[in-house]
Structure 1
Amino acid sequence: MRLLFIRLQWLFYVLSASVLLFPAPAYAQWYRLPFQTMGTQAYVELWAEDASQGKTLLTDVQSEFERINQLMSPYIASSELSQVNRDAATNPVTVGAEFYQLLQQAEQLAGLSDGAFDISFASVGFSYDYRQHIKPSAAELSSQQPLINYRLITLLANNQVRFTQQGVKIDLGGIAKGYAVEQAIGLLAKAGIKHALVTAGGDTRLLGDKRGRPWLVAIKHPRKADGIVAQLPLSDSAISTSGDYERFFIEDGVRYHHILDPKSGQSPSGLMSVTVLGPDATRTDAMSTTLFVMGLARGMAFIEQQPEFEAIFISSEHQLYFSSGLAQ
């Protein structure tokens, strides 16, 4: 009996030492966080092997969005965008490399799209208030619309920005959220995460698959609050949707929404939404806005010339149209 007790006591010491030497692993699982940022709802979901890392990365993603918001929001007086809008028509404004590089991307897409994508839409856009149902008068529109011209934005050496005409304003609303989504995914990838989803507003970026299954990304129905028109099985890609239902008001039967045609300073009416799929969210965000402005015929011709991108158009008649890569 005493021998049995000694053996059991010895076994207890061995097991205790094993626990000390090899602590119980933190079980891998999905970590999720919804949050508000950049004027919209955002969400991150990731698979982490360690609870501490998973929770830390969720807050890191939220912090990354807020960092970018502080740089690029037109509603924050200290943002670089606000500084540019205040001063660039008087003197060159020096901005950070990150902001400058995003302006370069916007300029490139403006040239590629013959001005369909134009961040100077804000020269008229700031005269709209969709919550208060306010739009520019005919006189205001007549004076402000000529200021929508990306060629009036000059990117100088040493990260300097200059407007060549008084009254020009810019807004990165057509590209900044996609950029923030892409930056957040880059942050997760750098931390060793293999499976993640980050979404903000209409912009989503997927890192890997959903552990052996594709992510299912829904395309919202443009006229039904909780409806969807399609679910796409995707992995390791980006998808962005621009629609006339995000910020809008209706007056005298006309829908005034936040996507403006640079040529008129008014909301185009031929489409209800455009969804773009591609390799990174910065580009899909900007491309979805571009195609919406272009309209169905011109937009379809344009997307067919972009080999890395595909698109789904929903016309004002509720018809779906697919670019050739998706139609197959």
Structure 2
Amino acid sequence: MEFRFSDKNPLHPISLFSFDAMHTRIEVLLTGLDESAGRGLAERVEQECRQMEHRFNCHDLKSPLAVVNSLAAERKVEVDDELFMALELCEVFRRGTAGYFDIATDSARAGERSYQLDAKAHTVSLSREGIRLDMGGFAKGFALERIRKMLAEEGVETALMNFGNSSVAALGHHPYGEWWAVGVEHTKVRGSMAYEVHLDGGAMSVSGRSTDGRYHIVNPTTGGTVAAEELILVEGRSALVVEVLSTALYAAPRAQRGAIIGQYDGYRATEIYCRAGGGVELREIGE
């Protein structure tokens, strides 16, 4: 972990720390704690992220999720309370996004129910061999919410949490402003910003092509990779909800996006079209 501290402004001492976890770079800036308290909190945040990385990483063969993927097509697999709750949330989001957020891969058969949850026994079963649960599109938002709660419980009132420049959550606003300013990178002009988001205690998430130009988001209803040129920006209260919605809206056909975002009061979604030469076109979804 990299940790830096500054108390040049004694009214707002700053702790800034970063580390790699959950397949991304995690950065947290917070104010109001002395160096010892800031460093201690940073270590606890990293430890919590490591635990969530293990729990939700389907590529870690020793993770609880990998065990489900390995065995649950043959028999019911019991999981702990937190993983079961997360799986229940994923099912709620699948239904609330017309199926465009789906943690089950290889599940594109029409009308197929990919996995079943038994709430009494806390077990998971997969419908058939070949289905695999991948919670990568859920875990970052879940972790951001957990970190934000941890900071608030320690008395932190102003903080900004950044996961890979695509998912960002805030506590309060900038100490010397009405918001935290967060830039969305232009996809056609390196080093240029396409849009600036103002966060005051909320969260934002952006989905689209990866920074190296690859298309990586799958349409779960077809199994094919989505090759849309636009970015999808979602803003709202919950880091988890904006993470899920940005993924689902990018996967969904443009004609269906308004109906999906319309189910989530207090959330705003925008299509960002980056043009050659630095131009930008914004289209608010559902307007």
2:115 aligns with 153
How much has 1:246 moved relative to structure 2?
4.5
1:203 aligns with 167
> Do structure 1's residue 91 and structure 2's residue 91 form an aligned pair?
no
* Deviation readout 1:78-127 (Å, 9 max, x if unpaired): 11111110011011111111111111111011112221111113x3xxxx
How much has 1:305 moved relative to structure 2?
3.3
How much has 1:316 moved relative to structure 2?
7.8
- Where 2:230 maps in the other structure, the secondary structure is strand
TM-score by length of 1: 0.77
CA distance in 1, matches of 2:250, 2:234: 10
- Where 2:26 maps in the other structure, the secondary structure is strand
1:284 aligns with 242
Give the length in aligned residue pairs.
271
- Structure-2 change in CA distance of 1:28 and 1:212 (3 Å): closer
Would the aligned equivalents of 1:118 and 1:149 in 2 still touch at CA under 8 Å?
no
Give the counterpart letter for 1:274 in structure 2.
I
- Structure-2 change in CA distance of 1:183 and 1:145 (3 Å): same
How much has 1:282 moved relative to structure 2?
1.0
Give the counterpart letter for 1:191 in structure 2.
E
How much has 1:306 moved relative to structure 2?
1.8
- Where 2:183 maps in the other structure, the secondary structure is strand
CA distance in 2, matches of 1:86, 1:248: 32
How much has 1:245 moved relative to structure 2?
2.2
- Structure-2 change in CA distance of 1:162 and 1:314 (3 Å): same
* Deviation readout 1:152-175 (Å, 9 max, x if unpaired): 210112321111212110101111
1:215 aligns with 180
The structure that is helix-richer by fraction is: 1
Note the 1:1-328 alignment, pairs <5 A.
Answer: 28-121=12-105, 123=106, 145-146=108-109, 151-156=113-118, 157-201=120-164, 202-213=166-177, 214-246=179-211, 249=214, 257-315=215-273, 319-323=281-285
- Structure-2 change in CA distance of 1:169 and 1:47 (3 Å): same
* Deviation readout 1:214-266 (Å, 9 max, x if unpaired): 100111222334221111221100111111124754xxxxxxx2100112211
- Where 1:319 maps in the other structure, the secondary structure is strand
Bigger Cα Rg: 1
- Structure-2 change in CA distance of 1:276 and 1:150 (3 Å): farther
- Structure-2 change in CA distance of 1:291 and 1:279 (3 Å): same
Give the counterpart letter for 1:235 in structure 2.
D
Would the aligned equivalents of 1:247 and 1:258 in 2 still touch at CA under 8 Å?
no
- Structure-2 change in CA distance of 1:224 and 1:300 (3 Å): farther
CA distance in 2, matches of 1:246, 1:102: 28
* Deviation readout 1:18-76 (Å, 9 max, x if unpaired): xxxxxxxx875010012111111110010123221111111221221111001011221
CA distance in 1, matches of 2:30, 2:258: 34
Would the aligned equivalents of 2:15 and 2:33 in 1 still touch at CA under 8 Å?
no
Would the aligned equivalents of 2:216 and 2:226 in 1 still touch at CA under 8 Å?
no
**Sequence identity percentage:** 26
CA distance in 2, matches of 1:192, 1:69: 25
CA distance in 2, matches of 1:182, 1:302: 22
TM-score by length of 2: 0.87
2:6 aligns with none
Runs of at least 5 residues in structure 2 that lack an aligned partner in the other structure: 1-9
Answer with 30-39 or 149-158: which moved more.
Answer: 149-158
How much has 1:314 moved relative to structure 2?
2.2
- Where 2:40 maps in the other structure, the secondary structure is helix
Would the aligned equivalents of 2:181 and 2:198 in 1 still touch at CA under 8 Å?
yes
Give the counterpart letter for 1:306 in structure 2.
Y
- Structure-2 change in CA distance of 1:319 and 1:108 (3 Å): same
- Where 1:260 maps in the other structure, the secondary structure is coil
